[in-house]
Structure 1
Amino acid sequence: MTAADRSIELASGVAIFSEGDAADCAFLVEEGWVEIFSMQGARRQTLSLVGPGEIFGEMAVIDGSPRSASASVAEDCRLLRIDQEQFNALLGRVEPFHAELMHKLVARFRHATRVFLQGGDPGSFTAPVGPGYAMLAEHRDIAEAIGRGEIEPYLQPIVDLATNRWRGFEALARWRCPRRGLRQPADFLPLAERTGLIRQIDWAIARQAMLVVKDLDGHPPPYLNINFSAWHFRDGQLAPTLAALLAETGMPASRVRVELTESLMLDEPEIAMREMRDIAALGAQVALDDFGTGYSSLSVLHRMPIHVLKIDRVLMDGVTRPGRPRSVMRNLVALAADLAMEIVCEGIEDAETVAALRDLGCGLGQGYLFARPMAGEQLAAVWQTSHMNG
């Protein structure tokens, strides 16, 4: 159906749909007026007049019920028809909470309309909790878990590929839930990111990880990579709060690397530039995480004060044999050297890849081949009893 097909011009008095009809579309009023009404015996009860900028007929599309009222043209009008498929596709893009709220509001409005037209007991409402409303309970659980200290850092070693020595650690969030056991980041971080709770999680992880890593000795002592969400950039308090946390924990800024994603830098480049310079002024370094998964990585390297490139595992597929992936990696290593940037290859899982990366000049790596993320107390014990600290 073309745009012209969806645009409908109707004269005054024309019926658009009737109560009880099946619904396959809704309408947006572009010009004129539409009356929404219900027939109560011989009496016509006007429910509303809908004018330009308003949508009608949407309730039956949302909940799949028959039309609960009739619609006719009150004044010559032009309507834009919104097909059910298009409407549901748009509705499917909203947050689950908003979609569930809309369905429940439609149900309550239908009931209120029936009571208004026919009389009777207003009654009460109850319904199963869907995924949208379940998010509210999950949000509460995450907030309470933060307060109880259940969300903690698990630290994954960053390894010197030439010597297999541990040179640093990335702090990753885990939720030690009393009811559901150890929960992975995918179980709670996406919701925390959407609601802003990620800010509290980031600082809780950073503080606990600093307290673990700062007391580890070595030659040189290990550094700590910390992930921060885009929310901190919007707040404009990343560098000042980081400075306060460094002072509180006694962690040297020179041993901290702040991991940021490319999308964060592209969305608000001026803010990102300011925050990154402020971070560098503290003595900490900035690492670009997941390099190779974005669209404008080279422009980011050109403009932003970045010290470390963390190469996503997608760029390592195929580096063990001649071909484009190996050539791309070779040139990335050369580019990083020219820009005085360090490279860390992520997601390494086999010795063959390590050998290929070492041949290409990659100095550092991270992945399950070397070690899985581990709790702070386990890390400290391993560090003290092994030769991983050089």
Structure 2
Amino acid sequence: MFPEDGRDTETLIRNADAAMYHAKETGRANYQFFTEQMNQSAAKRLALEGDLRQAVLKGEMRAYYQPVVDPATGRAAAHEALLRWQHSSRGIIGPADFIHLAEDTGIIIGLGEWILAEACRWGAFIGTERGLPVSVNLSSRQFNDPKIVQLVTRVLKDSGLPPQLLELEIPEAVVMQQPDFACATLKKLKDLGVRLTLDDFGTGFSGVAHLRRFPVDRLKIDRALVSSVQKDADHNAVVAAIIGLGHALGLKVVAKGVETEVQKAMLLASGCDYLQGFLTGAPVDADTAAKDYL
């Protein structure tokens, strides 16, 4: 606000931007007044953005893999590829610290293409003997990119990975932004022969009405619901209902974020098909995953 937050247009706009980014980081549907600390945060964000733009070129990105476990056998039924950033001075940076920045700036397109190609190469190397699929998350920008089908087609061809061994995960919130567009895109991807998973499912149940239209193979229950099953009977009922809904539609159901035996027991009692989380296997680098999770 003038004059406390700046006495010229350039300063006011810069400080307003800092407040806007802070509001985004705090959460949706809120506002923040500018403070000088925000300028410091904005400077750190700008520096991180510059580093992130160079990360792929410098070879700093890493693919980690987490098993999706079949509880009937205790063995991996698939692997999910997860981004990690091996920063030159800060060490390993998890996605929680850079994915939102990548989305906001559009850097996610390049990162998404890299992890897709890397996961398909790894999947072709380890997965063809046992037929283990590798799954990759598609961000909102990626999924809505008009060239997404061409990208997946090219990466599959270049890597030699059979289409049925690639699983693409799209968040429920993303497909519900434009259900008709999403349905058309999902069908085009499905025509390639890949598997499709509706990720982070169940927090709002916004996708239930459209679920029958979407050509998906699996539902992946949101980790927020899974983390609450041992604390909240209502959440137990919701999780059980999601599993029942998925099975009624002929879909397999995965629970992610499984960290305790209590959660595991409840999920298995409700008929959950696959489990993913630190209880069944932490994300590890490619070499370790190939050695320990096959």
Same-fold call, TM cutoff 0.5: yes
Partner of 2:238: 328
* Root mean square deviation, CA, Å: 2.7
Match of 1:315 among 216, 222, 225: 225
Kindly provide the CA deviation profile for residues 244-298 of structure 1, in whole angstroms up to 9, marking residues without a partner as x: 0000001111011111112211222232122111110000121111112235131
Structure with the higher fraction of residues in strand conformation: 1
- Comparing 189-198 with 267-276, greater Cα deviation is found at 267-276
CA distance in 2, matches of 1:145, 1:330: 41
Aligned to 1:340: 250
Pair 91,232 (structure 1): closer, same or farther in 2 beyond 3 Å: closer
For 1:347 and 1:160, the matched residues in 2 are separated by 15
Q: Is the 8 A contact 2:176 2:207 kept in 1?
A: no
Q: Partner of 2:98: helix, strand, or coil?
A: helix
Per-residue CA shift, 1:165-222, capped at 9, x if unaligned?
1010111100011211111112221111100000111111111122112222577421
Contact 1:257 1:286 in 2 (8 A): yes
Q: Which amino acid aligns with 1:289?
A: D
- Asked whether the equivalents of residues 209 and 376 of structure 1 are also in contact (C-alpha less than 8 Å), the reply is no
**Deviation readout 1:98-157 (Å, 9 max, x if unpaired):** xxxxx9xxxxxxxxxxxxxxxxxxxxxxxx973324433222211111112211211000
**Structure 2 partner of 1:94:** 20
2:264 corresponds to 1:354: yes
Structure 1 residue 304 displacement after superposition: 2.1
Q: Between the two proteins, what is the percent identity of the paired residues?
A: 29
Amino acid across the alignment from 2:159: T
Q: Which residue of 1 aligns with 2:95?
A: 185
Letter in 2 for 1:193: E
Give the counterpart of 2:57 among 147, 163, 166: 147
- Partner letter of residue 177 of structure 1? H
Q: 2:277 aligns with which of 363, 367, 370?
A: 367
Give unmatched runs, 5+ long, in structure 2. Answer: 9-15, 23-33
Deviations for 1:289-338, whole angstroms, at most 9, x for unmatched residues?
11122351312414322221101233235645994333333332221111
SS at match of 2:181: helix
Highest Rg: 1 or 2? 1
Structure 1 counterpart of 2:2, one-letter code: M
The answer as to whether partners of 1:225 and 1:258 remain within 8 angstroms in 2 is yes
- Runs of 4+ off more than 6 Å: none
Shift of the alpha carbon at 1:353? 2.1
8 A Cα contact 1:229 1:260, kept in partner = yes
1:244 to 154, 159, 163: 154
Matched, 1:263 2:168: no
Give the 3-state SS of the residue equivalent to 1:148 in structure 2: coil
Structure 1, 137-146 or 324-333: larger mean CA deviation: 324-333
Bigger drift between 203-212 and 215-224 goes to 215-224
Give 2:3's match in structure 1, choosing from 52, 55, 60: 60
Q: Per-residue CA shift, 1:51-101, capped at 9, x if unaligned?
A: xxxxxxx531433x7x9xxxxxxxxxxxxxxxxxxxxxx8775236xxxxx
Query: Which structure is higher in RCO with an 8 Å CA cutoff and minimum separation 6?
Result: 2
The one-letter code sitting in structure 2 at the alignment partner of 1:94 is M
Q: Contact 2:229–2:266 at 8 Å: present in 1 too?
A: yes
List aligned pairs for 1:19-38, cutoff 5 A. Answer: none
So what's the TM-score if we normalise by structure 2? 0.84
**Number of the residue aligned with 1:42:** none
Counterpart secondary structure, 2:238: helix
d(CA) in 1 for partners of 2:221 and 2:192?
25
Kept in 2, the 8 Å contact 1:291–1:311? The answer is yes
Counterpart of 2:12 in structure 1 is none
For the 8 Å contact 1:161–1:354, the answer to whether it is kept is no
Over 3 Å counting, the alpha-carbon distance change for 1:231 and 1:320 in structure 2 is: closer
* Residues 262 and 294 in structure 1, CA contact (< 8 A), matched pair in contact too: no
1: CA distance, partners of 2:120 / 2:144: 24
What is the TM-score of this pair, normalised by structure 1?
A: 0.64
| Residue aligned with 1:62, SS | coil
SS state at 1:344 partner: strand
Q: 2:84 aligned with 1:158, yes or no? A: no
Structure 1 position 138 matched with structure 2 position 48: yes
